[in-house]
Amino acid sequence: MKNIRLAMPSLKDARMRKKKEIPTIYYQMEEKYRKLGVGKTYAVFTYGCQGNEADSEVMAGILEEMGYETAQDPMTADVVILNTCAIRENAEQRIWGVLGQLKGKKRENPDMIIGIAGCMPQEEKTTHKILESYDFIDLVFGTHNKDHLPKLLYQAYMTKAKVVEVLSEEGNILEKAPKKREFHHKAWVNIMYGCDEFCTYCIVPYTRGKERSRKKEDILKEVEELVLKGYQEITLLGQNVNAYGKDLQTGYTFGDLLYDLDRTGIKRIRFTTSHPKDLDEKTIRAMRDCPSVMPHLHLPVQSGDNEILRKMNRKYTVEEYMEKIRLLKESVPGISLTTDIIVGFPNETEEQFQRTLDLVDRVQFEGAFTFIYSKREGTPASLLEDEITEEEKHQRLYRLNEKVNAGYLKGHQRFLGQVVEVLVDGFSKNGDGMMCGYTPHLKLTHFKAQNPDLIGTVVSVKITEAKTWFMIGELCE
Ligand code: SAH
Ligand code: SF4
Ligand code: F3S
């Protein structure tokens, strides 16, 4: 298959942080692309973080503006796009597996267009591998140019070649792009893109580029429009939301944004992810003062050992982290705290791992995403020699998860007998006549009901049972 290489990725270029102004562009689709998808179907598969989920909503919005319709069976759509994640080796393995299945489908329907987007193509090794051995992939693009999708699709149709456009320098800030939101009552709202932290294990600063914040006016406007449409909840997105606004140098911070968003009338505000180093008092005050800011915080700690934190380039100590936790608990009584933890960072000792276990006990997390360290090519940590065996790493993950799971259960048990407010998402997956949604503390709650009118409303539920992964309750009349 012929290749059209508009731009190829470079991790080295992606590392650069040039001083330049990031222009905001207002999306508009060229007329010639508008009818390209009429009579055809599409599917977007999403992997990875909420940032990718939000990007997929934009891709779906763009495809629908081109005339494409959602496919009943995503595996046989006319255009299939995989929006990928490169955070860990196993995330990538899953995606190669799905690509293998799609290869078979394309044999049955040779006109199918298969595209790979998101974080994986930003890695040189992935894009080279696709060019060398994945002939059935038609489109390769990254995280900075999803707005080019119509142009790239058009070229793929016209030339029957593999079209590659992966930019290593961060893109513009895209406003007014069409979005096909998954829900009608809760929405993702990006407040910034990229990451400047360079934690030594992490690929994100390379795949997402320099930190850049959206203008506050654009964010407020988007949320005001969501309120008018009846949305109840927003989740503000960024790799380090507490760094919001630093690049704009106006002195307006994330805390200020929370206070302003509270006044828009949106019922529930959540945000992810916070970096412990940048979580400031104003943000904590906003969590205390603003009724719409929910009493849950995800604050990734990664490790409970100062030496490991230093090697990870996290820029805080365990003591500093604990001080923020103290302030959070004091300011927002009953707050639910969750975190991310990596075990088996190169040469982590048993004592160092024990300190992580101790920290989990001290904070009393009510949930955590736990990971075994995965080596990412191009990151500083990937150069470290590592002596820990795979078995030891799995053992540590197991021991950590035992503790973390007990925390999940305790976090649910504390609501037994209480009436909680649940924003209803829909019918429970197992189809047993239950509906479900989340409480302010982000506890998944199931209750008996069969009424589709409840979706998107807040109902009162009395909690009768606490499990590890969810709570069960009765709807209050
Ligand atoms: N920006 C967020 C998280 C982004 S990635 C933050 O800093 O908190 C989500 C989580 O994946 C991280 O918090 C970390 O725990 C984990 N992670 C990132 N890189 C990893 C790697 N190379 N191996 C294992 N886990 C990793
Ligand atoms: Fe990765 Fe660290 Fe940035 Fe989070 S803050 S995305 S872990 S580099
Ligand atoms: Fe994955 Fe990229 Fe998000 S690597 S976690 S999809 S920023």
Q: What is the pLDDT of residues 344-398, one digit of tens each?
A: 999 999 999 999 999 999 999 999 999 999 999 999 999 999 989 999 999 999 9
74-91 mean pLDDT? 96
| Closest ligand to Cα 384 | 1
| Closest ligand to Cα 393 | 1
Per-residue confidence (pLDDT) for residue 378, from 0 to 100: 94
Measured in Å, residue 87 CA sits from the centre of ligand 1 at 7
- The fraction of the chain above a pLDDT of 90, given in percent, is 91
Average confidence score pLDDT of the chain: 95
Longest dimension (CA), the chain: 65
Q: pLDDT at residue 477 above 80?
A: no
Q: Identify the residues whose C-beta falls under 6 Å from ligand 2.
A: 195, 197-199, 202, 204-205, 239-240, 275
Measured in Å, residue 431 CA sits from the centre of ligand 3 at 32
Q: Which two tokens stand for residue 199?
A: 């934690």
Q: pLDDT at residue 148 above 90?
A: yes
Q: Which two tokens stand for residue 306?
A: 């100062």
- The fraction of the chain above a pLDDT of 70, given in percent, is 100
Exposure string over 410-444, b if 16+ CB within 10 A, otherwise e: ebbebbeeeebebbbbebbeeeeebbbbbbbbbbb
299-314 mean pLDDT? 98
275-293 mean pLDDT? 98
Q: pLDDT at residue 1 above 80?
A: no
Give which of 84, 159, 79, 98 is closest to 126, Cα–Cα: 84
Per-residue confidence (pLDDT) for residue 431, from 0 to 100: 72
237 lines ligand 3 (CB under 6 A): no
95 lines ligand 3 (CB under 6 A): no
Best substitution site from 87, 122, 199 to test ligand 2's pocket, by max atoms within 8 Å of Cβ? 199
Is the pTM of the predicted complex or chain greater than 0.85?
yes
Q: pLDDT at residue 13 above 90?
A: no
| Closest ligand to Cα 51 | 3
Measured in Å, residue 385 CA sits from the centre of ligand 1 at 20
Q: pLDDT at residue 233 above 80?
A: yes
Per-residue confidence (pLDDT) for residue 453, from 0 to 100: 97
Q: pLDDT at residue 98 above 80?
A: yes
Measured in Å, residue 260 CA sits from the centre of ligand 3 at 28
Measured in Å, residue 71 CA sits from the centre of ligand 1 at 33
Q: How confident is the model at residue 60 (pLDDT cuts 50, 70, 90)?
A: very high
Per-residue confidence (pLDDT) for residue 11, from 0 to 100: 87
Q: How confident is the model at residue 19 (pLDDT cuts 50, 70, 90)?
A: confident
Integer Cα distance of 278 and 232 in angstroms: 28
Domains delineated in the chain:
3-165 (3.40.50.12160), 183-294 (3.30.750.210), 325-412 (3.30.750.200), 419-475 (2.40.50.140)
> Taking the chain, what is the end-to-end CA distance rounded to the nearest angstrom?
63
58-65 mean pLDDT? 97
